[in-house]
Structure 1
């Protein structure tokens, strides 16, 4: 192993580190850990468990990565944590392994910005290009889509799903699913509109945004049942071709929601 390891760090000989990996003072890397090229592990970081980390990640001081799940049902099974590429993981972040009661793996995708004190519990599935502000907390089995944003102190109940491009406001207490593109806030959470500013920043065209806003109105403003809203979304998908994929994503999400949606 020729990675750049500080003399005070403890790296198990069985760990697999690319030669370009840096490990800072007093950090600990366990035997079942694999770390890809260009990743920097800051001081006082603990990485353990069956954890695979991709390239060009940055872990700031005092992170706990790959610890046992906080679940009494976990009985030492060889579950995993998988982290993609280009993630920034700030101070005091905690990521736990998966459990045998789910897929057995907790996942974080690529290019995510994970701020201080964020917690990803067992079996969470987080996509790519997300932003988690300080103290955002996910309970077990939560799914978060690409480009979603969780503001500071947002708390998410276990098994909830958050769709792509959704925005969760500060101090929000979330106990139900959030469809794609929707902005929610409050305690309990309520839908406040479409995350239009986020969509503009990501280059969504005017027709796409108009289609998403029309879909939002069917779900939240027209007193329709979910089945009626899904039928209306199906019609819009045929008449608004530029937004058809986005409207389809919202309709599919409604069909897959397991805890009911925030309304």
Structure 2
């Protein structure tokens, strides 16, 4: 049997959730689908599906095979479409991950434009400050702020956002305003645990970069939680400027130590390691690169 037929049948069974549904989806008979899967499993020497009277699910080997072959089939389909259509109309599901605050402020507002441009897309936006496993969670692309510690990932840099140290006017009226980074030892610093230098804030002086140890009575793995604490006058926070797009215009928010805060964080689109990246992922990446750049 043709390997492409075997692969097409395999992908159809996974996406349709069963052999009968795959047959209806492809216009083939159920016996033809079963024969193709049997031939594929025999050729590979592994069992791809757990079969029962009620469900068909992937084995561990089947899941790995799907993760590797689905992008390949997508790429073949995209190549066919590019030759038969002057404008590639992308469609299908896109799982996009982004940090919670940055995603809410900068990615979510761009989704309507993306869907308007490509109405065949079905976007799943996952907002979390924790870095997700792109392969395990079947994420097509991630927007990252900061260093990407995944050597096998494909990274496309969009731009950068500067760091900023802020507090509320009410807090500084009560506690005084730090004049140098060393003064932070006497202040309540709110720690964002998702930041690389969470308890050692980065600054730059006449002799170059240096870190200052900070501490306080509140920490969180959520940027939104630290932002709320700063606005409530609890203490001082260190953020990326892009995460404070709304607060920097607030009359009660004051930036401090501006002559010492020189650091920046890259904003990038990240793909999981794949030999073949679908045209859909390429086109959505291009959209975000173009639309995000002016916002940084």
Question: When the two structures are superposed, what TM-score results if normalisation uses the length of structure 1?
Answer: 0.26
Higher relative contact order (CA closer than 8 Å, sequence separation 6+): 2
Question: When the two structures are superposed, what TM-score results if normalisation uses the length of structure 2?
Answer: 0.24
